Copies of this chain bind each other. A is one copy, B any other.
Amino acid sequence: MKAVIPIDTKEQILNVAEELFAEQGFAGTSLRQVIKKAGVNLSAVHYHFGSKEELFRAVVARTAQPIVKTSLEQLALVEAREEPPTLEAILEAFINPSLLVFINNGGGDRSTNCARLMGRCRTEPDPIQKIADAEFEELCEAYLDALQRVLPDQSRNELNWKLDLVVAVLIRVLTEAGKPDALIQGNSPEAIELVVSRLVNFVAPGMRS
């Protein structure tokens, strides 16, 4: 007898939707593509999520929330260790969780899909962009506060655009993972630790300038 691990319908839809929204975007992905790949019925989407947009919202939330949670935890750790922490420590706490997602997904497609999804959200008009912004608002505020304590001579405004650029860099690095010439070439903890280090070294001097 073949042991089948039942995955519930809702989870199946989310998994496939995440993949396709990352690959093709919101407008470029049809619900029929999603349900076909997930092997479920079209009406299940509306039953469980209500609409395509709500499905997207759910996918973004489940992508963002683990990253936000871990990033806030790591910031708290860093601040508990020394107050004020170094700029490098803060940046590392910011960058690490996304890279952890990468490791936890074995460097497979899901790893880059999270980044691709976030990258896409940042190019969409509202309401899509606002969906993603809302998920990360708390995280950004916390890190801006921390940065302001470390770099008190810089305005909030300046720290804001710089942090935004760090996000752009991070998303790009993750999206390009595994491609020829990319910074990320492997997914062992050692390789990722090196990536984090190099990224911090890339952006820290700019943050200080």
Distance in angstroms between the alpha carbons of A26 and B198 in the assembled complex: 34
Distance in angstroms between the alpha carbons of A168 and B166 in the assembled complex: 10
> Which B residues are CB-close (under 8 A) to A97?
none
> Which B residues are CB-close (under 8 A) to A204?
206
Total residues of chain A contacting the partner, CB 8 A: 38
Which residues, 91 to 139 on A, are CB-close (under 8 Å) to B?
116, 119-120, 122-125
The one of B24, B122, B156, B176 in contact with A164, judged by C-beta atoms closer than 8 angstroms, is B176
Q: Copy number of this protein in the oligomer?
A: 2
> Which B residues are CB-close (under 8 A) to A176?
161, 164
> Which B residues are CB-close (under 8 A) to A205?
205-206, 209
Any chain B CB within 8 A of the CB of A160? yes
**Cβ B160 vs Cβ A181 within 8 A:** yes
Any chain B CB within 8 A of the CB of A6? no
CB distance from A15 to the nearest CB of B (A): 18
> Which B residues are CB-close (under 8 A) to A41?
none
**Cβ B120 vs Cβ A123 within 8 A:** yes
Any chain B CB within 8 A of the CB of A165? yes
Any chain B CB within 8 A of the CB of A173? yes
Distance in angstroms between the alpha carbons of A183 and B209 in the assembled complex: 14
Distance in angstroms between the alpha carbons of A183 and B157 in the assembled complex: 8
Distance in angstroms between the alpha carbons of A28 and B25 in the assembled complex: 9
> Which B residues are CB-close (under 8 A) to A162?
202
Which A residues are closer than 8 A to B by beta carbons? 23-28, 116, 119-120, 122-125, 156-157, 160-162, 164-165, 168-169, 171-173, 175-176, 181-183, 198, 201-206, 209
